[in-house]
Structure 1
């Protein structure tokens, strides 16, 4: 694919109360997930100097409310093309029909403007969940949240990324000692739940992450993790300092990051 400008990425917010990741290249602006109300999404986009009408597409990873809760209203009001797997659409979580729905076939890449998108199947407790690698012919960004275990298939797809938004959801000891009921603890810590700090760090070792120029720790649990633990664990895997790791926050997300050659 011919390069159409550098890839930039940012977050409107990350955590159990709502998630949305913005990826831009040239005049192409793609929103991955939207767990916020339309009003809140509009407010958070304005912080990044964009409006809903600037969006080229919305991609959805899966149907859990913190990822899909605001999608239906956004794409209906602003007529934004919506990309989901068939399983996500059949979940019934979009609140009705949408004006421009497009099917994601897992493992089949497709183009949106200046971006090429690779949907990657992941182990998570949803109907047909995917995560995404996005590229422009010269640069690759991996967005990898909401999966409970690392598979060889996932490692293979994310091996050549220059930037990565990676789930570091919980610390296993904090989860074990925390307030969640036993059933929820089993779900979060299970193979179809969420990655721990340690699992995320091990993933970095498996993909040989020395070429990363940006690493964002995302989807941190407010009850079962703390930013210092997550950053320290990931930094050790990269042999760097914790302050090099960007932390995606629930309220502020993170501001624009740009992938340089």
Structure 2
């Protein structure tokens, strides 16, 4: 199983996951031309995509998905709640039942419900050939369901959105500060660390620090918060995802 981030942050998110001939784009928060350019930078043409998955309807995750689907006749998999935000029909809408796994080609996909201020948000754990890859951003608190779902991942793209002090001292209006820092907002560095303390470090090959706020966090602060709970995880396997570049292709390997 291979994966790459096309960008991660409040201005746009997109992740590619490949298993054999199956190639899935998770979220598409960039415009059509920008998405095509970022795909090309990873050696991918949109025609090669098997499907698009959308976690929720916020624009930094949904923006380009319907346009990309219409141009290349791609199916979109998302919840009924998220689909309510489609402004016009898409070629194929495949509804996700958050209580059931589903399959796209070689990928077995486990939806995970999360507390976030969206209509019916879902994050995902991808299974293939004994591998588990977890995508976990855009949630305001860690539930027992979340902890259980992501415990055995070999790769984890984990939100470290904000540092609480930077958020408190930052430029956002009070209402937005309450939203971001609330139980239905985004994970702080410390919340991410608490989840990371619960995962099986013996299986974790790659940790991708994701969805870092440009105004309310810094990669060094995120790393400092996570460092005490990273026993057994090589620092060379901890990566920070950027808004502009994401990361190059990473391959999961059997031990």
Structure-1-length-normalised TM-score: 0.94
| Matching residue of 1:42 | 36
| 1:123/1:192 contact within 8 Å kept | yes
Structure 2 unaligned runs (5+)?
none
Q: Secondary structure at the match of 2:249?
A: strand
Match of 1:205 among 193, 197, 200: 197
Distance in 2 (alpha carbons) for counterparts of 1:175 and 1:208 = 30
1:257 paired residue number: 250
Instruction: Give runs of aligned pairs for residues 168-179 of structure 1, distance below 5 A.
Output: 168-179=160-171
Structure 1 residue runs of 4+, over 3 Å off? 240-244
Structure 2 residue 36 is the aligned partner of structure 1 residue 13: no
What residue in structure 1 maps to residue 217 of structure 2?
A: 225
- Structure 1 unaligned runs (5+)? 1-6
In structure 1, the partner of 2:50 is 56
Q: Does 1:216 align with 2:208?
A: yes
Pairwise mapping of residues 78-227 of structure 1 onto structure 2 (< 5 A)?
A: 78-90=72-84, 92=85, 94-227=86-219
> TM-score normalized by structure 2?
0.97
Query: How far 1:107 sits from its partner (Å)?
Result: 2.3
User: d(CA) in 2 for partners of 1:157 and 1:105?
Assistant: 16
1:228 deviation in Å? Answer: 1.0
Change (3 A) 1:222 1:243: farther
CA distance in 1, matches of 2:22, 2:208: 22
Greater CA deviation, 201-210 or 138-147?
Answer: 201-210
CA distance in 1, matches of 2:107, 2:236: 30
Matched residues, number: 253
Instruction: Supply the RMSD in Å over aligned alpha carbons.
Output: 1.1
